[in-house]
Amino acid sequence: MARSRTLCRARRLAALFLLAPCWAAAAGDELSTCATGSKEELGRAMDAHNQHVYRMNRKFKDVWYFQGAVPASVGKEVTFESVHGYLARLAPRRAALLFHATGQNRLCTWLIMQDRSVVRHQQHLSGDALAALSPAQWQELGVRSARKPRVGEPDAPIAPLDPEESKRRWDALLARLSGILLPPPVAERVVDERIDTLIVVPISIRSGQYPREGENDTATHLQGGQKIGTLPAGTQLVLTVGTVPFLALPVGGRPLVERASVIVAPGFLPFAGEPDPPRAGIEAPLVVGAPIRKGLEPLPGARDEAVQIAHDLATKAYVGEDALKRRVLDELAGRADALDFILLATHGRASEKNPVDESFLEFSDGRLNAREISLLRPEDGKTAERRRLARRPIVVMSACETGLGKDFAVGTIGLARAWQWAGASSVVMSLWSVDDAATRDLMVDLVAMLRTGTAVDRALREAAINARRQNDNPAFWAAFSVFGAPERARSK
């Protein structure tokens, strides 16, 4: 399996193009609480979101999506007061929280502000609109725009895009995404209030049946009228908000990266507590990359990345034959009280069908899957070997599609959520297969800023800005996102 800089799996792209019914069904019962966009509906949507997150996280314990009664206490500590309070305590950040809900082909958008105000917007969202906004589009554009993709074992070759054609299609796609997810009243408030931190609480938006029964044209299209696959009549399309490259979305005539950092939250529950304090830097890192094993493609870019970052952090890089799963698990067990930063530059795979057991990272002696990662969190009341990571480290997965997995009503379950469940404070995750050299440079820049105590979302934003100066195609700078909850930031 090729790394995130590679052409990952052509079979995955094909599956996304076809949007198999099982994938749509995986979204579960969507948050159908949008009728008028009122504050009361927002409250109901928040409650429903909390319950769905509880059910989804139970997959780390139970193989199946939990169908039993949700404890009455779940999410009760999350209120408007707690969310507003959390946002206020993020100062000097100028933070806002973005949330959506759907209902009867309507999409409600709420932007919750630090000053306790809420921007509300409602729009009609047809299946035809969603047909042009499948995640397959930006994943395919990311893959085909890469200058030197490494092919794993694709079912069929995917031709590279001409740079001008790539840019044209990116621009059109991102403009449409922004118009739907950041509608004019929301975008205007982001600009007017000089928001510098956008927190996204994700949902999966499902269309009605598309194409409609009886239609002859059963193809969904990329921008420019190019068909990406044939859809059976009655297929539901899914737009998963948490996998959207928000940094690249145009807001007020400029990409959002020029205005704000973005962090995708695992739900509302973090906002019942206090933001983490600013970090002093990186004190106890673990750096692993470029495993060597029969059947694995060599990763020279990942090796350079790991070696350079380890040098900058004055630590050892476990690369090549030393890039061992056993080493990672030993470090996580023996240094759980100390580790505050983990970089894994390797091959990866995200599974839609079995995201917990078949989403994994590759090492020289085997695979580390999402379930094994999740077991780093202790069972309730137990603190033996399966101990929670005490220092809540930042985890950077510089590997293929580590932000993807199986999509449910309230987001995606896979490797990123497994690390968050295990105790990571924030997870840097990829949204598609990216260019090797660009990713190496971006990660080196990211870690250089983390060393100074820069908050991870702000560090990623600055690294993305630097990468954009080298190549303004979003495929090269917008492929990574942060999953977690924002910490307090140092004053600028």
Structure tokens at 224: 């420019």
Strands 261-264 and 197-201: parallel
Ramachandran category for residue 413: left, alpha or beta (phi over 0 → left; psi -120 to 50 → alpha): beta
Sign of CA dihedral 35, 37, 40, 46: positive
Helix H or strand E segment including 153: none
Residue 469 buriedness (CB in 10 A; 0-12 / 13-18 / 19+): exposed
Helix (H) or strand (E) holding 483: strand 480-484
Environment class of 281 (CB within 10 Å of its CB; exposed 0-12, middle 13-18, buried 19+): middle
In the numeric block, which tokens belong to residue 198?
């956008």
Tokens, residue 292 = 């060597």
Q: Which mean pLDDT values do the consecutive 10-residue runs of the chain (492 residues) have?
A: 41 38 40 84 93 89 77 84 94 97 90 96 78 73 62 51 86 92 97 98 76 44 40 66 96 97 96 93 97 89 96 98 96 92 93 93 96 84 57 94 91 96 95 84 97 97 97 92 93 62
* Bridge partner list, 341: 285, 394
Asked if the peptide bond before residue 184 counts as cis, ω within 30 degrees of 0, the response is no
For residue 398, give the H/E element and its range.
strand 394-398
**Which of 322, 309, 287, 305 has the alpha carbon at shortest distance from 435?**
305
Cβ atoms within 10 A of the Cβ of 194, count? 9
The encoded tokens of residue 154 equal 């694709």
213: which residues sit within 8 A by CB, 6+ positions away? 233, 234
Q: How far apart are CA 483 and CA 396, in angstroms?
A: 10
**368 φ, ψ to 5°?**
-110, 110
**CA–CA gap between residue 264 and residue 411 (Å, rounded):** 10
3-state SS assignment for residue 198: strand
How many residues are listed for the chain in this entry? 492
3 state SS of 440: helix
- Spatial CA neighbour of 231 closest among 7, 9, 8, 23: 23
Buried b (16+ CB within 10 A) or exposed e, 87-110: beebeebbbbbbbbbbbeebbbbb
Tokens of 400: 């293929």
Tokens of 361: 């990272």
Those residues whose C-beta lies under 8 Å from the C-beta of residue 392, and which sit 6 or more positions away, are: 276, 340, 423, 424, 425
pLDDT of residue 298: 86
Which of 245, 57, 35 is CA-nearest to residue 123? 35
What is the rounded CA–CA span in Å between residue 285 and residue 251? 36
Query: How far is C-alpha 119 from the geometric centre of its chain's CA atoms?
Result: 24
- Strand ranges, E, within 24-169: 95-103, 106-113, 118-124
The pLDDT of residue 309 is: 98
Query: Max alpha carbon distance in the chain (Å)?
Result: 64
Q: What is the per-residue pLDDT for 232?
A: 56
**Does pTM top 0.85 for this prediction?**
yes
